Amino acid sequence: MRASEILSHKRDGGTLSAEQLRFLIRGYLDGSIPEYQVSAWLMAVYFQGMTGKETGELTREMIASGDSIVLDRAARPYIDKHSTGGVGDKVSLILAPLAAACGVSVPMMSGRALGHTGGTLDKLDAIPGYRSVLDPERFAAVVAEVGFAMTGQSERIVPADRKLYALRDVTATVESIPLITASILSKKFAEGAEALVMDVKCGRGAFMKTPTDARALAESLVRTGASLERNVVAVLTRMDEPLGAMVGNFLEVEESCRVLAAPERPVAGFEIPALDDPRLADLIEVTLHLTAWMIVLAGKAPDHNAALSLARERLLDGSAYRAFCANVEAQGGSVGELEAGFGTRRAPLSEEINATADGVITEIDAYRMGMAGVDLGVGRNRAEDDVEPDVGIELFAKCGERVSAGTPLCRVYAVSEAALRAACERAAQAYVIEQDGGVVSLGSRIIEELHELE
């Protein structure tokens, strides 16, 4: 078998066999196939695509390139959730303990912020003492102990994905749907997940800008999951404005705790109970909807409506917040130090942005808000950049709300004057206020669902 023959076959639109993909991936890892040939293959895939079976075989080979986490079989099935990334997306922080409180075992491997999209691991790192990277043995133990664990990708898990992603990044092939699919599913199934709920975000603040592109990725994920004999539910959700009221690492942890703890004991610094705060309605809707699908996949409820009822019950009875706190302690964090920062832990410089006219907020550009976060240090321009835990943006008003000139729209928190100025300029540009806009109802954040349940 020769790499050049594989490349020409894919270049001409052919379908590669499992053996050909194995030869290519293993050759790249052991150095027998040079980077320039793998780059050519990536570009051929970018233009020619892959069949569902072919993408499935690539995913299998990527999983086989490293270790897989072995979880206690008695707690099956293991269900995970993944998001394609957005602004203010702290859903995983609420969803994982909520699902665990509903009896679902959740092994969750997450990523870090890059560009305008936030990262779950950076948010977890804002919790004092929290260890966001666990070795496979400790990861399995925490899942067994508290029902869920959250970690980053270790060196031993799917090494093919790390090498391929780095190469995709410099060869302009990141946007290939088959390659995105294999990257996501290989990591999720190597971590021990047996079924997956995908939050495929769509809009200005998402990786996929249009419903057509988002649906294509969702279909690829569901189809490839089926080829691997795994259930994948893909939910398309809107990401045109930030999700919830906070954009920032500690700020989003605090907001998540506010939602989880509100029924039991309100988080300090907030007068309106979280479940009654209209700024959080979209966050709560998306979180409950995705959690309900995890409950269904785990067989803990007969249908989505019953699962929604169960999730709401566990949110209201405080068990989800207790699960969150148990995880914090199990992963080395301090709940006491975390809670002591609620309402007060903010970067030292801040400034409010006010409405300049009367009218209705018709747009809060999530991409601009995300890039304002990058200016502050919420996210990264490069993978090696550091992040600031206590900076961010708090939204006081969201789309559809009527405001008057001078009404505070948001507050920006920064560690330097230069960062504050840059972020305030971007954040102000994110708002569109129309004087004759009337009352705007954006409706549900849920666009569409694709699933193939047994």
Contact 427, 368 (CB under 8 A): yes
Residue of 22, 187, 238, 346 marked catalytic: 187
- What is the DSSP annotation of 383-427? TT----TT-EEEES--TT-EE-TT-EEEEEEESSHHHHHHHHHHH
Separation of alpha carbons 365 and 172, rounded Å: 25
Q: Based on the residue annotation, tell me whether 161 is a catalytic residue of this protein.
A: yes
Token digits for 323?
Answer: 């699960």
* Residue 11 among the catalytic residues: no
Question: Of 56, 59, 66, 79, which is closest to residue 192 (Cα–Cα)?
Answer: 79
For residue 282, CA distances in Å to 99, 244, 298, 393, 444 come to: 18, 6, 25, 17, 8
Q: How far apart are CA 325 and CA 253, in angstroms?
A: 12
Closest by Cα among 192, 185, 115, 142 to 367: 115
The structure tokens 């705060």 sit at: 277
Nearest to 397 by CA among 383, 407, 385, 387: 407
Q: State the DSSP H helix or E strand holding residue 231, giving kind and residue range, or none if neither.
A: strand 231-238
Q: Which of 65, 83, 183, 319 is catalytic?
A: 183
Beta-bridged to residue 353, according to DSSP, are 410
Catalytic residue among 60, 82, 279, 345: 82
Is 187 annotated in the active site?
yes
Q: Is 163 one of the catalytic residues?
A: no
DSSP structure string for 265-308: SPPTT-SS-GGG-GGGHHHHHHHHHHHHHHHHHTTSSSSHHHHH
Q: Is residue 83 among the annotated active site residues?
A: no
Q: Under a CB-based contact definition with an 8 Å cutoff, are residues 153 and 121 in contact?
A: no
From the list 60, 81, 116, 168, the catalytic residue is 168
- With contact defined as beta carbons under 8 Å apart, do 205 and 116 qualify? yes
Q: Looking at residue 151, what DSSP letter applies? A: E
Catalytic residue among 161, 240, 365, 375: 161
- Report d(CA 99, CA 80) in Å as an integer: 10
Catalytic residues: 82, 161, 168, 183, 187
